[in-house]
């Protein structure tokens, strides 16, 4: 299929990835003229992967009072200032290609997946927050919630290689920590315990898979590589490599294989 044909691997540099993306865009623009203008503006007329991402995200977030050109410059500045933002973005693309059976090209993820796009916007808001520009960070959080239906507080810490699948209704609170290679479905809440100060949101370990509609609430820890079944409510710590389900969630399997 398209995925293997493109010879993408986990060591792909931004330069290699960009060649793949342009090849995909040329192929799709030729096969589907209705999309030619869209693909030209977002990919083929852009000078680099960073420029293409900045243009694509800015276009989605722009409003009559926050212009696309301002946002494009802001996102480009973030990418220039902190190269780990773009590294995380590439890791997120590879995560989608690896883990989402419905995705078989890079541009499908880049241009079509609102979970991916929302996460990249969060990474910009997080950079602003850390730079002390909290008002703008919070305004971008609000635009992301409006445009992508994903509400991630800019102070939250989210690792790389993260997949937000379908994404509608995801909420990640101010003091939450999300490890690398976490996958979460739509309607997942990493929410507060209701107490007003200190760490009041969950810490999700590396490699955790969180099913649709799950709420993890309060200052709880979910161990690495665990899986939480759809619709569960987690209010206590979970060990690593377990499977937990239910309201409230109970561990139904310990030290499970990675592919049960």
Summarize as ranges the residues that interact with a second copy (CB under 8 A): 28, 31-32, 34-35, 37-38, 41-42, 59, 64-66, 70, 74, 101-102, 108, 111-114, 133, 135-136, 138-139, 141-142, 145-149, 151, 153, 166, 168-169, 171, 173-174, 185-187, 189, 191-192, 196-197, 200, 211-213, 215, 217, 229-233, 245-248
In whole angstroms, the minimum distance from the beta carbon of 166 to a second copy comes to 5
Q: Would you say 153 or 203 has its CB closer to a second copy?
A: 153
Instruction: Identify whether 29 is preceded by a cis peptide bond (ω within 30 of 0).
Output: no
Q: Would you say 15 or 194 has its CB closer to a second copy?
A: 194
- Distances, alpha carbon 24 to alpha carbons 5, 19, 32, in Å: 11, 9, 12
In whole angstroms, the minimum distance from the beta carbon of 13 to a second copy comes to 26
| Tokens 């040329």 found at | 26
Q: Would you say 74 or 90 has its CB closer to a second copy?
A: 74
| Tokens 């996460």 found at | 119
Give Cα 85 distance to the centre of its chain. 12
Q: Would you say 14 or 177 has its CB closer to a second copy?
A: 177
- DSSP code string of 117-174: HHHHHHHHHHHHHHTT-HHHHHHHHHHHHHHHS-EE-TTSEE-SS-EE-S-TT-EE-T
In whole angstroms, the minimum distance from the beta carbon of 41 to a second copy comes to 5
């Amino acid at each position: 299929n398209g995925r293997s044909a493109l010879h993408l691997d986990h060591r792909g540099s931004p330069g290699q990835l960009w060649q793949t993306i342009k090849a995909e865009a040329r192929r799709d623009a030729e096969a589907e003229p209705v999309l030619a203008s869209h693909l030209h503006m977002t990919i083929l007329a852009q000078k680099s992967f960073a420029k293409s991402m900045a243009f694509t995200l800015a276009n989605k977030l722009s409003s009559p009072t926050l212009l696309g050109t301002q946002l494009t410059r802001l996102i480009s500045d973030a990418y220039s200032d902190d190269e780990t933002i773009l590294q995380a973005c590439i890791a997120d693309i590879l995560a989608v290609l690896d883990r989402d059976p419905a995705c078989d090209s890079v541009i499908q993820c880049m241009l079509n997946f609102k979970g991916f796009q929302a996460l990249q916007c969060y990474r910009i808001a997080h950079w602003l927050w850390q730079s002390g520009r909290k008002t703008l960070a919070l305004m971008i959080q609000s635009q992301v919630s409006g445009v992508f239906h994903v509400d991630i507080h800019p102070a939250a810490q989210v690792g790389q290689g993260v997949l937000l699948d379908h994404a509608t209704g995801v909420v990640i609170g101010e003091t939450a920590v999300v490890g690398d290679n976490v996958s979460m479905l739509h309607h997942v809440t990493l929410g507060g315990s209701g107490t007003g100060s200190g760490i009041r949101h969950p810490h999700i370990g590396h490699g955790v898979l969180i099913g649709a509609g799950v709420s993890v609430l309060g200052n709880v820890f979910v161990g690495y590589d665990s899986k939480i079944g759809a619709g569960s409510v987690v209010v206590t710590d979970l060990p690593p490599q377990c499977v937990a389900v239910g309201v409230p969630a109970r561990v139904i399997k310990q030290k499970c294989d990675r592919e049960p």
